[in-house]
A and B are shown apart, each in its own frame.
Chain A
Amino acid sequence: MTNRVSTSGTDITLYGEMTIYHAAALKEAIGAAVAQIHGNWHVHLSEVTELDTAGVQLLLGLREYARQRACELRFVQPSAMVREVLELLQIPSLDQAVEGQS
């Protein structure tokens, strides 16, 4: 299976299709990636080519996770596909800001 998630420092980049077909593998990979990061999470979405409900759910789930761990979460450079979906769902921003840090 191709690499769907890569990390470098506090940056996490997601690749390819964020769909139900890959949701299980993606969740595991994202979980593993964030576990290595101490501090704030920056998630790059520029390489996401497809996003369905399962994908949206993962992003929203990740936000909850960040909130729970009191991490700051920023989503960076959403691809056109991601922007289209966020627009449809009228989600202005997925970011999770931690009080006092924003």
Chain B
Amino acid sequence: MNLNDALPGFIAECADLLREMEEGLLRCANDAPDAETVNLIFRCAHTVKGSAGLFGLDAIVSFVHVVETVLDSVRLERITVTDELITLLLACKDHIQLLVNQVDQGVSADPSAIAGGEDLLQKLRHWVTDPHATVAAEHTGSPALATNIASASTVIADWLLAIRFSLGVLKAGMDPLSFLRYLRSFCELREVRVLQDGWPSWDELDPEQCYLGFEIELRSDAERGRITGAFDFIKDDCQIQLTQLNARVAVPDPAEGAKRTAAAASGTRENPKAAASSVASRSVRVDSEKLDTLITRIGELIIAAAGINSLAHTRGDGALEEQASTLTSLVEQVREGALQLRMVRIGGTFERFQRVVHDVSRELGKEINLELQGKDTELDKTVVEQIGDPLTHLVRNAIDHGIESAEVRARCGKPAAGTIRLNAFHDSGNIVIQVSDDGGGLRKDRILAKARERGLIQEDRTLADTEIFQLIFEPGFSTAEQVTNLSGRGVGMDVVKRNITALRGSVAIESTEGQGTTVTVRLPLTLAIINGFQIAVGSSNFVLPLDAVEECLELPAQSSHDFTELRGKALPFVRLRELVGNAEPTSRRPSIVVVRNGAERAGIVVDTLLGELQTVIKPLARMFNKVDYVSGSTILGNGEVALVLDVPALLGQAVSRGWSRKAL
């Protein structure tokens, strides 16, 4: 019976609302603000304030209140939306998020945050009280906005609100009185009747249950959605009936007014919100920890099922084997389903870059368009969470170094506004995320000069384009002539690469001088469970991710060099036996497993091919960090341990060996 139980819900709700608010603000920044968007932003702030009030979070309420006042003025067309105002409101949104985070972490506001808040409040007050702003609005407001807002704000209606609560509402930590207080903040409560019918006698009255109901006559200029919205927080615990009694229009023209009343009464205005809430109610919020536990259990289940499978096989019991294979296929479906639960659209992450681009482009005085593609591409939640920072870095880099200044662009005959494109798609068990810009591209000569200067490469060595571009991922490498606030200090690209590698991913760059750069990040779809292909060298077992495996071949008898021919093309390979230093004798003829990562192909020479299996990847202890061709370990059905091979790393080795042999 504690409000604290509801707090996580509040935090999550705020995060959603603030994100919506940010999207709305950015939409206003890009296009002319329309009434609907302004209303949406206002509603977000308003709901945050209302919910915060329920929890007695006064710091948030008082701050959001000022923001709301400004937004209300925007809504009523008293002030015009300028770039400056949007930037200020975005900063306010960040500050609210900060306050909410502090509640989440249970810490009190630190002095710098308080000072930041005060500073923002100062600026906000300036907007509300600035008389010039009012004058400006009269001249510049768009007519569409004006009429919409007018019809929304000038209809004053009387409503009859009947509300009944469930018996358990008090025990759930809710106090219906607080909702009335909140309602009073924007409605005139003309008459309140406490419904006392059907009450139990004193002896039977359980004081912890709620028997009360209210009938309230209220007068307000608020829309239906806003009034019922006041009870959103307990909508599962109450029944609301809202009837419009009459409507009056506070404008002199009665004919016009009647039309507006009709529009307001028909409720067309609240449709977007209704649609949004119906989407929300179809999904369930689940603690990600629960999900992780489920996935771990399913991992164990997979191992157990594999154990039964191999047992059935060795026993030679046909019936048992049949049952075991049914079990395996069911477990496989469960696994698919569970992993699907963890999949989220990358769109949410992409949308965040609207803000990054907005901020950075203003800071640098560049005009930038952001194009998003493949927003519906799904990937594992953990991957999404961890890819945000590296992507932000890449986008900032692209804006700062990639896109040229407007003058330079004009001289090159490019449009003044630069374009940053984010793209995501699936490719052979990986998700590919591309960050492209139509800027100046990487200058190979500068990179080479810098690399030689730093002693990263030998003076006389010639490198392929891709190798040159990879140099910018070296620690401390930067070719920017001027170090800006954002980037150019050579800290970053190496960190980006390290973060991506830590996710078992890879990063590649394509660039054409004068035309732009594309950075391609390739990541595994999920980190936890993979379909594997089991192989062995001597008695040691290894697992390759099945998605990376293309085909298996026999190793030609007389191959002493490290590449062979595959359909007319050279195929470099590594001998796993040499790599792991296995000296057990073998009588078998070795096989080659052809693996692929992006456009690169290579072979891995192994003793035995053991076939497909599902496997759970367990991370290796830190002490094995140096073993760069292994990405984890797994337990096989028979209880033995197998190492999971890191295909990109192996490919790198195979290709570089191939090169060095050729160079000899």
Contact call B210/A68, Cβ cutoff below 8 A: no
Tell me the smallest distance from the CB of B55 to a CB of chain A, in Å: 15
Of A3-11, A23-31, A37-45, the one touching chain B: A23-31
Does A88 contact B170, Cβ atoms closer than 8 Å? no
| Residue of A with least CB distance to B192 | A90
In the complex, are the beta carbons of A20 and B177 less than 8 A apart?
no
- Interface stretch among B111-119, B196-204, B506-514? B196-204
A57–B180 CA distance with the chains assembled, in angstroms: 15
Q: A21-B1, A53-B176, A65-B202 are in contact. Are A90 and B189 (CB under 8 A)?
A: yes
Contacts of A89 in B (CB 8 A): 177, 180, 192, 194, 214
Given the complex of chains A and B, what is the CA–CA distance between A31 and B204 in angstroms?
12
Give every chain B residue within 8 A of A60 (Cβ-Cβ).
194, 196, 199, 212
Q: Which chain A residues border B196 with CB–CB below 8 Å?
A: 60, 64
- Given contacts A61-B199, A61-B202, whether A26 and B1 have CB atoms under 8 Å apart is no
Q: A54-B170, A64-B196, A91-B194 are contacts. A24–B210 as well, Cβ < 8 Å?
A: no
For A88, what are the chain B residues with a Cβ–Cβ distance below 8 Å?
177, 180-181, 184, 189, 192
List 13 additional contacts besides A20-B171, A90-B189; criterion CB under 8 Å: A20-B208, A21-B1, A23-B207, A24-B208, A53-B170, A53-B176, A64-B196, A64-B199, A64-B201, A68-B201, A85-B177, A88-B181, A88-B192
B205 within 8 A of A: yes
A44 to chain B, nearest CB (A): 19
Beta-carbon contact of B177 and A64 below 8 Å: no
Q: Which of B191-232 contact A (CB under 8 A)?
A: 191-194, 196, 199, 201-202, 205, 207-208, 210-212, 214
Q: Within the assembled complex, what's the spacing in Å between the Cα atoms of A23 and B207?
A: 6
| A interface secondary structure, majority | helix
B201:A65 contact, CB within 8 angstroms: yes
B130 within 8 A of A: no
Task: Assess whether B256 is interfacial by the CB under 8 Å rule.
Answer: no
Question: Please, how many angstroms separate the alpha-carbon atoms of A91 and B212 in the complex?
Answer: 14
Whether A52 contacts B175 by the Cβ 8 Å rule is yes
Interface flag for A56 (CB, 8 Å): yes
Least CB distance from B162 to A in Å reads 15
Given A24, A56, A62, which contacts B212 in the complex, CB threshold below 8 Å? A56
Question: Closest residue to B174 on the A side, CB-wise?
Answer: A53
A58, CB-defined interface residue at 8 Å: yes
What are 7 of the A-B contact pairs (CB < 8 Å)? A23-B207, A31-B202, A61-B199, A65-B202, A88-B189, A89-B177, A89-B192
Q: Which residues of B contact A52 (CB under 8 A)?
A: 170, 175, 177
Question: Who on chain B is nearest to A61 by CB?
Answer: B205
Contacts of A21 in B (CB 8 A): 1
> Number of contacting residues on A, CB 8 A?
24
| Minimum C-beta distance from B185 to chain A (A) | 12
- Chain A residues 78-99 with CB under 8 Å of chain B are 85, 88-91
A62 to B, closest residue via Cβ: B202
Query: Does B207 contact A27, Cβ atoms closer than 8 Å?
Result: yes
Please name all residues of chain A whose beta carbon is closer than 8 Å to the beta carbon of B207 when the two chains form the complex. Answer: 23-24, 26-27, 54, 57-58, 61
Min Cβ gap B113→A in Å is 31
User: Contact partner of B208 among A54, A61, A62, A91, CB < 8 A?
Assistant: A54
- Report yes or no: A57 in contact with B202, Cβ–Cβ below 8 A: no
Report how far A9 CA is from B368 CA in the complex, Å: 81
C-beta contact mask, B156-173 vs A, less than 8 Å → 1, else 0?
A: 000000000000001100
Minimum CB–CB distance from A33 to chain B (whole Å) comes to: 13
Residue ID in chain A nearest B180 by CB atoms: A88
Kindly state the separation between the CA atoms of A89 and B191 in the bound complex, as whole angstroms: 8
Bound Cα distance A31, B171 (Å) = 22
Tell me which residues across on chain A come within 8 A of B210, comparing CB atoms. Answer: 53-54, 57
In angstroms, Cα B211 to Cα A64, docked, is: 13
